[in-house]
Amino acid sequence: MKSGFISIIGRPNVGKSTLLNAILGEKIAITTDKPQTTRNTIRGIYTRTDKDEDSLQMIFIDTPGIHKPRNKLGDFMTEAAIGTFKEVDAVIFITDDALSAGPGDKYILELLKEIQTPRLLVINKIDKLGPEEFRQIYEEYEQTGLFTKIIGTSASEGKNIDDVIAAAEEFLEEGPMYFPEDMVTDHPERFIVSEIIREKLLLYLQDEVPHGVAVEIESYKESPKITRIGAVIYCEKKSHKGIIIGKDGRKLKGIGKSAREEIEALLGTKVFLQTWVKVKENWRDSDFALSNFGYKEQ
């Protein structure tokens, strides 16, 4: 069996989580059109045990978008992504724009130059790129000489995902099966539930409010027919609390209903979801709050 760990890196909002979900054929990482949706590293497990093909297990690590941090949460997210570089067997770098378009990708390339880990470039969102745009991106990155292979994909449409899997497989050597073959992530259900709620907040809210939101699961009780979940939504300002709740509580009810429906599909049971909104000012710059919310080691 071939096995190993592969990091998925890139700027915010280039489609890292969408690619991971497409590879697995199952949603384990939340996705929105807002930058910095992913805050933690998310591990997705791809296992192939078909008799006609060689057995394979790849553990993909979806990382937060690498960006210039504005607070301690941003520091944690960027360090979490960069910290995977030397711990994996291969790195998939995702971009959706020309190298000459801005400093973000150039910064990541400088980091990649410092490691010996094999590198694969994925040019995502090819459904939105014209032939000339794609050619420019391809040629600019090819000239760096940093990548073993360059593949164009549309993760949202599932295009060329098999090519990415095959290219990543080439980097791996014989190794153990790290996880059971029916396991797609090593994160507990409570974590995924909290992320689903946060995804709905990102989708329902505008401007800066969603980036100052954290979700903590206070209670989680399972029974054969129903799972009862209590979740606290933390925001940084009193004015944000009012926005999240909305007039007559409509906004929060809509967020809760959307989250509950997806959680029920995930768990395969009825779900009773209760949500509360509390203010914790400037939590993104608080070491204590970041530790409590699972963004930093205590």
pLDDT tens, 257-280?
999 999 998 888 999 999 999 999
Mean pLDDT to the nearest integer, 274-287: 87
- Crossing angle of helices 161-169/16-24, nearest 10°? 90
Confirm if 95 and 137 have CB atoms less than 8 A apart: yes
Name the percent of the chain lying above pLDDT 70: 85
**Residues present in the chain in total:** 298
Q: Could you read off the pLDDT of 217-236 as tens digits, one per residue? A: 999 999 988 999 999 999 98
Mean pLDDT to the nearest integer, 134-140: 95
Q: pLDDT at residue 298 above 60?
A: no
Where is pLDDT greater, at 289 or 168? 168
Q: pLDDT at residue 82 above 50?
A: yes
Q: How many Cβ atoms are within 10 Å of 138's Cβ, its own excluded? A: 16
Q: pLDDT at residue 251 above 80?
A: yes
pTM: 0.76
Mean model confidence pLDDT for the chain: 86
Q: pLDDT at residue 244 above 70?
A: yes
Q: pLDDT at residue 115 above 70?
A: yes
Domains of the chain, residue spans: 2-174, 189-292
Q: Could you read off the pLDDT of 32-78 as tens digits, one per residue? A: 666 555 556 788 999 998 766 789 999 998 876 665 656 666 565 56
- Write out the two tokens for 139: 């040629």
CATH superfamily of 189-292: K homology (KH) domain (3.30.300.20)
- In order of 19, 96, 159, the CA distances from 130 in angstroms are 20, 12, 15
Is the domain spanning 2-174 CATH 3.40.50.1970? The answer is no
Q: How confident is the model at residue 110 (pLDDT cuts 50, 70, 90)?
A: confident
Task: Specify the pLDDT at position 212.
Answer: 82
Q: How confident is the model at residue 204 (pLDDT cuts 50, 70, 90)?
A: confident
